[in-house]
Homo-oligomer: A and B are copies of this chain.
């Protein structure tokens, strides 16, 4: 009977994949480690570690170095460090006001960064995708220019609800896009067979925060702060995706049922209170109707706050109060350790957080025990595109077999 052969084979590949990932992770965390160090910490035998290390070297993921951890020069070729200069990842972002690209190598070193003002709210999807593809092509060329580069994947951040399996945007309220097959459209424009994945900007931003924390929080909420307000939810160390991938729509929680009409057509959504247009109206009405990059608007807003005019200060206090109401919903439902403010919310955080914290303390059902920190993202408006490039990298760390082994050279 050969029926068992295939499942057994699958299991062995799974074990090898997990062990390769383990050794690769040890090298990443240790920066410079020996095979013996890895054997000790992983509890694998030295022979197994050696075989795994050889395979990772063949795949261009790690390399031998003469350096020892203490900086002294040891027996050459015995210590290991992350290689991956030849392995690259590309993150792309479609924002309502700009397009962006970010290419890194395996260690996360930035090789290319592009950001282009673009009014995706007025452009049709075809034009937007043409421009995005043009930016992607330039970035790919630049990544390839660094040497014998292998592009491991492309991830695209979009401000909408995404069917992650098909790479299709189901609905992007502020772009007024419905059922746009982003992954397929980019594949057509770019050719080739590099994997292309698409995800929501808030999800990717939350992952960018998580991956850049020295001690990743198991329960974190990232709030986007642009025209739209969405949440990326990390619970138990993982992205909360729900049954179909449609989570985190905090911007459309109704907080004032008789309030203003939202971009989604409903009344009194949180977004009508703390979205960028609302805060501009409240704190800097003369800037409200200008079509400019949200990052510039955020800086103008911050300037107003620093100037300390009474209109601006009253506006920020009011926005902070609504932000606190929104955060209290997340806290009472999800009990996160930290809420990270992205976009303009992060830029003007010092002027919003005091009022928001007052409201949160008042509204936390569990009292002070559940009151979490509210903090500004350190990534400004680049969190989503950072998250996009980082998920490609993290996927390699999860499954090193994605990277093909080099063809054997003659010794």
A residues contacting B by CB (< 8 A) are 7-8, 11, 43, 161, 163, 170-171, 173, 217-219, 231, 233, 235-236, 238, 240-250, 252-257, 264, 266, 325, 328-330, 332-337, 362-363, 365-367, 369-370, 372
Contact = CB atoms under 8 A, between A and B. Distances in A.
Contacts of A325: 254, 257
Contacts of A248: 333
Contact of A370 (B217, B233, B246, B334): B246
Copies of the protein in its oligomer: 2
A173 B365 CA distance: 9
B365 A264 contact: yes
Given A249-B365, A249-B366, A329-B329, 20 more contacts: A8-B43, A11-B43, A163-B369, A170-B367, A219-B242, A219-B243, A236-B240, A236-B241, A240-B240, A243-B335, A244-B369, A246-B365, A246-B366, A247-B333, A252-B365, A254-B328, A254-B329, A255-B257, A256-B257, A266-B362
Contacts of A329: 253-254, 329
Contacts of A334: 240, 242, 247, 333
Contacts of A336: 242-243
Nearest to A230: B365
Contacts of A231: 333
Nearest to A4: B43
